[in-house]
Amino acid sequence: MIRIHQVLATLGYGDAIGHEVLAIQRVLRSAGYESEIFVEAADRRLESLTVDFRNLVDFSHPENLLIHHFSLASKASRTAFALPDRMALVYHNITPPEFFIGIHRSLTDECYRGRRELQAYAIRCDLALGDSEFNRQDLEALGFPRTAVLPVVPDFSHLDRTPDRAFADQFDDAWTNVMFVGRIIPSKKIDDVIRFFHTYHTVFNPRSRLLLVGAHTGFEPYLDALHELTATLGNSHVHMIGHVSDEELVAFYEVADLFLCASEHEGFCVPIVEAFYKQVPVVAYAATAVPSTMDGAGVLYHKKDPLNVAALMDGIASNAALQETLVDGQLAAVARLRTKDFSGALLRFVDQVLAAPRAPAPEVTYDFWRQFDAREALEELKLDRPSVYHALPYEGQRQS
């Protein structure tokens, strides 16, 4: 009996990858496949749904299919690579490491190494799936010969829950609430969101506030820099909400008047379509996958000029008729997104992989990844310290 399992580094609560992993498992189990989720770590609220990746060896079989979610290099990834199972890779993109320089040293290194390591999977995978066309093109550029798009069809059920208003009710008043939802990390350019809001607040609407909803664990230096920025601007109406439950998130969407995004790197950006679904007008920077995700709805801006962005915000927030038009367009975009047959597409890809000639079995010796890491270290020397690199003995050189 063919089994189809998923493997990834971490199963997070409330994030886009976590929602997709759980949705894939539901589809596979409904189709009659046995399907488990193997992880290195999981949010404590989801641990009962997972299996430790070290047990993956005991579940492995050449006829099985592993759906490998790749966002960073990990022990789980390397274990999956070495097994004889067929593999379909789902790529969630890797943030360029330069966003984290000086903020998070280990993540800078992980992103750099993750992108380099991803290339090793090009000949390992039977099929590589991007969760957006932007991500599929990235895979193609990295040398993956068989690529396709597994559409992201967000599961909005977590936004249909009864809202927990205990926290958000303090912001439910006559003021304009500008909101962003997402991890407080440098690539999301929260600093730009604060600058744009500050211009809007001071030039157009002093009865406004900014609500930043998202986890910041591990990025305390960036969070400190954001606090310093708001202090320098003298703006006391920027609220760092932090991580919230699904029920609290619903309440925050319900008090929001405008969703503002300045992110410079997105593989999809699920919070944008969540805002669409919750009927919050969206203003977003036209970078990476964001224009495709918005699908002609909301408002895109192409230059990061604070006064221009603030004027866009005011033009929407002060015009009820325009808000209604934007919301109608956003709901139409959600409807188009939901017509995409996620379940059907997933199962067709499964059938395609199982029916096609399989990729070559991985040739993994006991020290495969150690050699891989050594090669990467040499490549770094070649780029960053060429004089040291050229001083190394070359293959075949006579040893004295």
- Note whether residue 92 is domain-resident: yes
Q: What percentage of the chain has pLDDT greater than the value 70? A: 91
Q: Which of 375, 368, 370 minimizes the C-alpha distance to 389?
A: 375
Strand partners, 65: 4, 86
- Note whether residue 389 is domain-resident: no
Count CA atoms closer than 13 A to 323's CA, side-chain side: 16
* pLDDT exceeds 50 at position 30: yes
**Selected residue with higher pLDDT from 73 and 236:** 236
- Note whether residue 210 is domain-resident: yes
Does one domain contain both 177 and 187? yes
Residue range 229-256: average pLDDT?
Answer: 97
What is the SS3 assignment for 79-101?
Answer: HHHHCCCEEEEEECCCCCHHHHC
Does one domain contain both 351 and 333? no
Q: Which of 14-23, 351-360, 372-381 has the lowest mean pLDDT?
A: 372-381
Residue 161: per-residue pLDDT: 96
Residue 302: per-residue pLDDT: 98
Does one domain contain both 318 and 186? yes
Does one domain contain both 283 and 229? yes
**Selected residue with higher pLDDT from 108 and 325:** 325
Cα-based angle 110, 273, 342 (whole degrees, multiple of 5): 80
Residue range(s) defining the domain that contains residue 198: 160-339
Give residue-wise pLDDT tens across range 151-168.
887 778 889 999 999 999
* pLDDT exceeds 50 at position 360: yes
**Cβ neighbours of residue 116 under 8 Å, at least 6 residues apart?**
376, 379
Residue 74: per-residue pLDDT: 83
Does one domain contain both 262 and 354? no
Domain count, the chain: 2
Residue 151: per-residue pLDDT: 86
* pLDDT exceeds 80 at position 395: no
Residue 197 burial class via C-beta count within 10 angstroms: exposed 0-12, middle 13-18, buried 19 and up:
buried
Does one domain contain both 334 and 206? yes
- Note whether residue 300 is domain-resident: yes
Residue 113: per-residue pLDDT: 81
Does one domain contain both 335 and 354? no
Residue 217: per-residue pLDDT: 87
Residue 72: per-residue pLDDT: 78
Residue 116: per-residue pLDDT: 83
Task: Give the whole-angstrom CA distance, residue 355 versus residue 361.
Answer: 16
Residue range 163-189: average pLDDT?
Answer: 97
- Note whether residue 391 is domain-resident: no
Q: Which of 10-19, 181-190, 236-245, 253-262 has the lowest mean pLDDT?
A: 10-19
Q: How far apart are the first and last CA of the chain?
A: 59
Does one domain contain both 346 and 313? no
Does one domain contain both 129 and 167? no
**Selected residue with higher pLDDT from 107 and 332:** 332
* pLDDT exceeds 70 at position 342: yes
**Element housing 107 (H / E):** helix 105-118
**Cβ neighbours of residue 301 under 8 Å, at least 6 residues apart?**
283, 284, 285, 286, 308, 309, 312
* pLDDT exceeds 80 at position 31: yes
- Note whether residue 273 is domain-resident: yes
Q: Which of 112-116, 242-246, 374-378 has the lowest mean pLDDT?
A: 374-378
Does one domain contain both 31 and 134? yes
Does one domain contain both 142 and 165? no
Residue range 335-362: average pLDDT?
Answer: 91
- Looking at every residue in the chain, the average pLDDT score rounds to 90
* pLDDT exceeds 80 at position 296: yes
- Note whether residue 383 is domain-resident: no
Residue range 359-381: average pLDDT?
Answer: 58
Residue 386: per-residue pLDDT: 63
Check: pTM over 0.85? Answer yes or no. no
Last residue of a domain, which of 306, 339, 372? 339
- Note whether residue 281 is domain-resident: yes
Contact criterion met (CB below 8 Å) for 245 and 213: no
Residue 101: per-residue pLDDT: 87
Residue range 99-128: average pLDDT?
Answer: 87
Does one domain contain both 243 and 201? yes
Give residue-wise pLDDT tens across range 37-83.
999 999 999 999 999 999 998 999 999 999 999 987 788 888 888 88
Q: What is the CATH number of the domain that holds 54?
A: 3.40.50.2000
